[in-house]
Amino acid sequence: MRICLSHSSLKLTVMIHDRELRSLLHKFGLKVTAARLRVLGVLVHSPVALSHRDILEKMGEQTTDKVTLYRTLHSFADCGLIHKVATKERSWRYALHNGDPDTIPHDGDHAHFICDICERIYCMPAVIPDQKQQVELKRGFSLRSEEYRLHGTCPQCH
């Protein structure tokens, strides 16, 4: 499944209301609760992956307990509504799967481009060489998955 929520378009952003959020939760088999609606509301309006702290701050008045937020994010990630990306600052970033034409869905082999400046994480199409044969043959390593990370500056930060 591929839910398309464009972040670049303000018009679309404004259109995301309670009804849409509820149906999104339903689609992923989650109970609709006040906290989940608020968290999802924040994620839906962000073009970049957010940290736990970012989300708490963006919730402002409507804030929740920090534990609730961690658990909410876990549920979202477990059912595939959002994805988690590890950062070198030993914390996680969370983002909705999005339909940005410049990125691809978060499955299959692809690269993550992590901007040094704004820390946005982009999923990029990439030709990743298959190392399985090479590595296994050489020393009995068996490969489960590959991750290719690119670090640099994104177009917005130039």
Partner DNA sequence: TTATTGTTGCAACAAGGTTGCAAATTGTAT
Partner DNA sequence: ATACAATTTGCAACCTTGTTGCAACAATAA
Residues contributing to the site for a second copy (CB under 8 A): 86, 88, 90-91, 102, 111, 113, 116, 122, 124, 126-129, 131, 134-135, 138-155, 158
The length of the chain in residues reads 158
Query: Strand 111-115 to strand 92-96: parallel, antiparallel, or no bridges (unpaired)?
Result: unpaired
Q: For 11-130, list the strands marked E by DSSP.
A: 50-51, 82-86, 92-96, 111-115, 121-124
Residue 127 Cβ, how far from a second copy at the closest point, in Å?
Answer: 6
Per CB under 7 A, 91 contacts DNA: yes
In contact, 127 and 119? CB cutoff 8 Å: no
Site string for DNA, 28-57 (x = CB under 7 A): --xxxxxxx--------------xxx----
Per CB under 7 A, 3 contacts DNA: no
Options 2-10, 11-19, 90-98, 144-152: segment touching DNA (CB under 7 A):
90-98
Chosen residue from 74, 132, 149, 151 binding DNA by CB under 7 A: 74
**Residue (of 68, 63, 74, 80) closest to 24 by Cα position:** 80
The Cα–Cα gap between 148 and 112 comes to: 6
Residue 136 Cβ, how far from DNA at the closest point, in Å?
Answer: 30
